[in-house]
Amino acid sequence: MQAAKSLRLAQATNTRPAQALQPTSPGEISAILSNPRRYPAPIRPIGFGSSTTRCLSAPGGTIVDLLKMNRVLRLDRESVTVQPGITIRELAELLAAEGLELFGGFDLANRSVGGAVCGAGLDAAIGSGPTQFAAHVTSLKIVAPDGSRYNVKRDNAPMLGLLRLSYGLLGIVYELTLRVRPIQNFTVQSARVGFKDFINLAPRLARATAATKLYLMPFKDRIFVELRQTACGTKSGKQIAWRFKNWACYSALPSALRSLAKVVPLRSMRYPISDTLSQATQSLLTKGFLRSGSNSLEQTGRFRHPGAGASFAYCTWAFPAATFGRVAAAYQAMCLQHYSKTGFRCDMPAVVFRLNQDRSALLAPNFETPMFTISSLTADQHGWGDFVLDLADFAAKNDGTPFFNQTPGMTTKLAIDRYGRRLAAFRKTRRKLDPNDRLLNQFFASYMI
């Protein structure tokens, strides 16, 4: 068993655990969990470290970094069995070589498979299928908090529903099986609309069978719309186009905005330039640059090395789809008001996904109803903390639901209110499986005790 010393680990946890370890087998994980004297609590598993809350923190405890457990164990035409540390991009590349792809859509490729199964994500599904990546897990092998091991298969749906999106609170996953399918192509349609006109468009998007992704630019009064629909017989698209898209959105744009902040320190001068760059990027991508693709093409086309200079902060809330037209207009008003009051605003477009109702995981934010998510992003983080608080107040007033792993600024009361009886049922199971709180950190204690 190796000690973990990566910068990724330190940035992701933002804390000082007593030790950080990189096990390579389930036996080593069992040894950690079964020895409280040598490996103190809280014990927190970590994958790629993409969470923006303190759900990974383990002050004085033990971090279990799973990225070295990254092998594909079995593969057939309907399923793949892997260890949790493999990234979705790595797995997608292996599957693509066999003419296969993962279920699940946008913005997942750099997460570890284990992290995407155990933490909520953003997947805009085509049709009426489930939109949490975890929904496609058919079995899990777990090391329990006492160090014992157990296996949960699809015929035990209630337990599988508890373990999906369980945030490492019920045990540490060491093996999982996912559904796969032959590569399916989709078409991409793009448009742009103002916030006022979007109020009338939103109900149609809430009912659409197409996968829906939006980019909100409140200060340009512009919403860019991207729709994806399965289309047999279409060309799959070009990987270079998908690489360019992801490089432009997730590397080039944030890097340019961070450089711009150094050259043009006055926000009143810099923000209009930021808007022009963001709008130009989106306009390029909506003018037929991407006409078709597939899950496999997008996930293997992810730009791989964004670099430290491209980092950005983000915060995600989910809102009922039925009222999202009004919510989007209120979000624009909130952003304008916050800028007028503080001089700070996000310098990147907010990203929106439509999530179908999904009851595959007890703690799915979209368990009760279809949702639209808003992920606010910024490369300029000076003033971000105050914006996050105003965003939380806005969400509370507009029926917003937080993500435990992606929503900094959420209050304990709001999270408990929104998840309600489902959270109470999860707490009951957690206490039964982990009576000594081996896996419970301070962040989750406020929701789970």
CATH number of the domain bearing residue 262: 3.40.462.10
| Residue 413: partners with Cβ closer than 8 Å, 6 or more residues away | none
Residue 297 has pLDDT above 60, yes or no: yes
Q: Do 141 and 191 share a domain, yes or no?
A: no
Q: Do 329 and 193 share a domain, yes or no?
A: yes
Give pLDDT, residue 288.
57
Residue 350 has pLDDT above 90, yes or no: yes
Q: Do 212 and 89 share a domain, yes or no?
A: no
Q: Do 211 and 287 share a domain, yes or no?
A: yes
d(CA 189, CA 187): 7
Q: Do 375 and 362 share a domain, yes or no?
A: yes
Report the pLDDT averaged over residues 226-254: 68
Predicted confidence (pLDDT) per residue in 224-234, tens digit? 998 888 877 65
CA 32 from centre of chain: 28
Closest by CA to 135, choosing from 150, 145, 149, 125, is 125
Q: Do 130 and 210 share a domain, yes or no?
A: no
Residue 190 has pLDDT above 60, yes or no: yes
How many separate domains does the chain show? 3
Q: Is residue 302 part of a domain?
A: yes
Residue 252 has pLDDT above 70, yes or no: no
Report whether 189 contacts 229 (CB < 8 A): yes
Q: Do 405 and 344 share a domain, yes or no?
A: yes
% of the chain exceeding 70 in pLDDT: 84
Q: Do 42 and 121 share a domain, yes or no?
A: no
Closest by CA to 290, choosing from 340, 246, 336, is 246
CATH number at residue 98: 3.30.465.10
Residue 269 has pLDDT above 50, yes or no: yes
Higher model confidence: residue 77 or residue 246? 77
At residue 153 the predicted structure's pLDDT band, cuts being 50, 70 and 90, is very high
Q: Is residue 436 part of a domain?
A: no
Give pLDDT, residue 234.
57
List the structure tokens of 75.
């593969």
Higher model confidence: residue 137 or residue 106? 137
pTM: 0.89
| Of 93-107, 128-142, 434-448, minimum mean pLDDT range | 93-107
| Residue 209: partners with Cβ closer than 8 Å, 6 or more residues away | 126, 127, 128, 229
Give pLDDT, residue 308.
41
Residue 307 has pLDDT above 50, yes or no: no
Higher model confidence: residue 15 or residue 272? 272
Which range of residues forms the domain containing residue 199? 185-412
| Residue 78: partners with Cβ closer than 8 Å, 6 or more residues away | 179, 180, 181
Q: Do 330 and 357 share a domain, yes or no?
A: yes
Report the pLDDT averaged over residues 287-306: 62
Report whether 147 contacts 31 (CB < 8 A): yes
Give pLDDT, residue 342.
95
Main-chain dihedrals φ then ψ at residue 402, nearest 5 degrees: -85, 165
- How confident is the prediction for the chain on average, in pLDDT? 87
Predicted confidence (pLDDT) per residue in 352-406, tens digit? 999 999 999 999 999 999 999 999 999 888 899 999 999 999 999 999 999 999 9
Q: Do 342 and 263 share a domain, yes or no?
A: yes
Predicted confidence (pLDDT) per residue in 33-46, tens digit? 999 999 999 999 99
Predicted confidence (pLDDT) per residue in 32-87, tens digit? 999 999 999 999 999 988 889 999 999 999 999 999 999 999 999 999 999 999 99
Predicted confidence (pLDDT) per residue in 194-216, tens digit? 999 999 999 999 998 888 999 99
